[in-house]
Amino acid sequence: MNKFLSAVAALLFLSGTAHANDLHRCETGNAPQGEYVVYFDTGKTVIKPEGKEELKKAADRAKYMLDVCVVGQADNQGNQEFNKKLAMKRAKVVASELQRLGVPASTLVTMVQGEAFGDSLTKMLGTKKNTQSRRVSVRLMR
């Protein structure tokens, strides 16, 4: 396992949100067959209308995938424990919406990435706000 996957595994296991089999299902080294992103407001878990539209697109393809990895992430504004819990709540809300849209629960793997990118991503994108960090990524895996 390369250094990146080892770091991801450590983060996921430390947060208590993933099992070894889940990690294997989502981080096999294969590129996702598709990725959809839903953004959230600060401290919120409510899916905005544009997020619901994105999830409808994701669900149309996700119904035919072996694994659908739902990865929650928070920005770096709160403490680390709060952010992990918030990221997991966001991921669970998205997973529930995908189930409501017809994606089989058995294909869904819900995890958190915590503050994996935080300010680094914000600086790299040249933005002042952490809006990119407050998200859930839906990765379609075969």
Domain edges within the chain: 3-141
CA–CA dist 124, 127 (Å, integer): 8
Which pLDDT does position 72 carry in this prediction?
Answer: 93
H or E stretch including 82? helix 80-100
- Residues 6 or more apart from 71 whose CB is under 8 A from it? 26, 91, 111, 112, 113, 136, 137, 138, 139
CATH 3.30.1330.60 assigned to domain 3-141? The reply is yes
Mean pLDDT per 10-residue interval, the chain, length 142 residues: 43 43 63 90 94 96 91 86 92 97 94 61 49 87 82
Which pLDDT does position 62 carry in this prediction?
Answer: 93
Which pLDDT does position 128 carry in this prediction?
Answer: 47
Which among 82, 12, 69 is positioned nearest to 42, based on CA atoms? 82
Which pLDDT does position 131 carry in this prediction?
Answer: 57
Which pLDDT does position 115 carry in this prediction?
Answer: 58
| Sequence letter at residue 80 | Q
What angle (nearest 5°) sits at the alpha carbon of residue 76, between those of residues 74 and 82? 65
- Residues 6 or more apart from 8 whose CB is under 8 A from it? 23, 27, 113, 116
pTM for the predicted model, two decimal places? 0.75
